Amino acid sequence: MTQDLYFGKALTGWRHAFHRQPETGFEEVGTSQTVATILESLGLEVHRGIGGTGVVANLRVGDGDGVIGIRADMDALQIAEQAPGRGHASQVPGKMHACGHDGHMSMVLGAAKLLAASRDFNGTVRFIFQPAEEHGRGAKAMIADGLLERFPIDAIYGVHNMPGIAAGHFATRAGGIMASEDNFVIRIRGKGTHAARPHMGVDPLVIGAQIVVALQTVVSRSVDPGVSAVVSCTEFITDGIRNAIPTNVVIKGDTRSYSSDVQQLLETRMREICQGVCAMHGAQCEFEYTHEFAPTMNWADNTVRAVRAAQKVVGETHVDADVAPMMASEDFGVFLQHVPGNFAFIGNGSGEAPGAIPLHNACYDFNDAILPLGARYFAQIVRDSLPR
């Protein structure tokens, strides 16, 4: 019991230190240095600067050929923390760990600590600390920098804390668990005029409003009802003033889906609608569509292994092996396009319990009580994957 208490305090101390000094994507210089220093103190072989600020640490035991990757994300968000009285609150104005990456790092460091001490497996573990998950750029940057050639792995595993799921519970599924994210920008150029003389111009506000409404028909009338897809317009920007109809309108937003066919369908129909509505009113249209996040598609065999490991840690009744997929996105999906693996959720708290505040909320905080569970889960996956 004393050893467990010490272990939990160590993980909590790391987590609070990360939380106080948040760094956003590709700027995780201090964070990666702290991670590397802790890993070196555990006796691991550490490599810095992978894909910018990424870190890879190797732990080899025995003569086994198997190699397992365990991944954590490191970046914070540009959100001002609203946590009066929180002793470990962000000390960086306008930035905070509002998605729990501070906890993810601490859980993976905890797994490294457990495995470095027990050495009860046969093979190699690579602890991968990824930058810029929130950008959807970090995994690609590490891979482009030779991650999988320099540090080949047979399989990779990751988790994300999830408010709304009870603390101490795990959830995952085979197949799609988190969606792709594509971003779009629609630029409409009309003809500005005095608000009292609308007939003298081409009103891009009216055109933009028609486009926003028309885009809602893409999913309802062009996508198979049995397939998941979301189209969301999230920004509507003009260069007008109260008594002047603008010349320019910019509409921004994103789409979510689970297959490249649906992604292509969304892009095509959205482009056709935007160009058609603008042409109908005599306005100019530019349509930009970019692919930001790949869908996170779990491999079946690795999901079975992840479920069994979670059951060993928290018990069968606390593991959901077929959780409903979410339309949020996760950069981990890029890794799963290259190697087998699994991504799971670990409950951060539900209802009125600590940890239930939503992700990306200025009041959010990672639930320290689940840190040892996540560490033991990752360690169990390694033991099951690389038995002595």
Among residues 23, 75, 182, 330, the one annotated as catalytic is 75
Do 154 and 160 touch, CB atoms closer than 8 A?
Answer: no
Question: How many C-alpha atoms does 237 have within 13 Å on its Cβ side?
Answer: 9
Residue 16, marked binder: no
Q: What are phi and psi of 60, to 5 degrees?
A: -110, 135
For the chain, the helix, strand and coil percentages under 3-state DSSP, each to the nearest 5: 40, 30, 35
The angle formed by the CA atoms of residues 378, 73 and 174, to the nearest 5 degrees, is 55
**According to the annotation, is 160 in a ligand binding site?**
yes
CA 23 – CA 365 distance, rounded (Å): 16
Note if 133 is an active site residue: yes
Is 194 annotated to bind a ligand? Reply is no
Do the beta carbons of residue 130 and residue 25 sit within 8 Å? no
Which residues, in sequence order, are CB contacts of 296 under 8 Å at separation 6+? 176, 177, 178, 179, 329, 330, 332, 333, 336, 343
Q: Is 134 annotated as ligand-binding?
A: yes
DSSP label of 331:
T
- Contact predicate 96/377, CB 8 Å: no
Distance, in Å, from the CA atom of 347 to the CA atom of 370, rounded to the nearest integer, reads: 8
Q: Is 154 a catalytic residue?
A: no
DSSP-assigned states of every residue in 56-116: EEEEEETT---EEEEEEE---BS-----TT-TT---STT-B--SSHHHHHHHHHHHHHHHH
Helices (H) and strands (E) in the chain, counts: 10, 16
**Euclidean distance between CA atoms 177 and 172, whole angstroms:** 7
Q: Which pair of tokens denotes residue 210?
A: 């028609």
String of DSSP letters for 187-241: EEE-B-EETT-GGGSB-HHHHHHHHHHHHHHHHHHHS-TTS-EEEEEEEEEE--B
Q: Is 101 annotated as a binding residue?
A: yes
Count of CB atoms within 10 A of residue 317's CB? 8
* Contact between 70 and 126 (Cβ < 8 Å): yes
Query: Which residue from 131, 113, 172 is spatially nearest to 314, judged by alpha carbons?
Result: 172
Q: What is the C-alpha to C-alpha distance for residues 44 and 373, in angstroms, rounded to an integer?
A: 22
The active-site residue, picked from 28, 81, 133, 320, is: 133
For the annotated binding site for Mn(2+), the residues are 99, 101, 134, 160, 360
Q: Which residues are catalytic?
A: 75, 133
The binding site consists of: 99, 101, 134, 160, 360
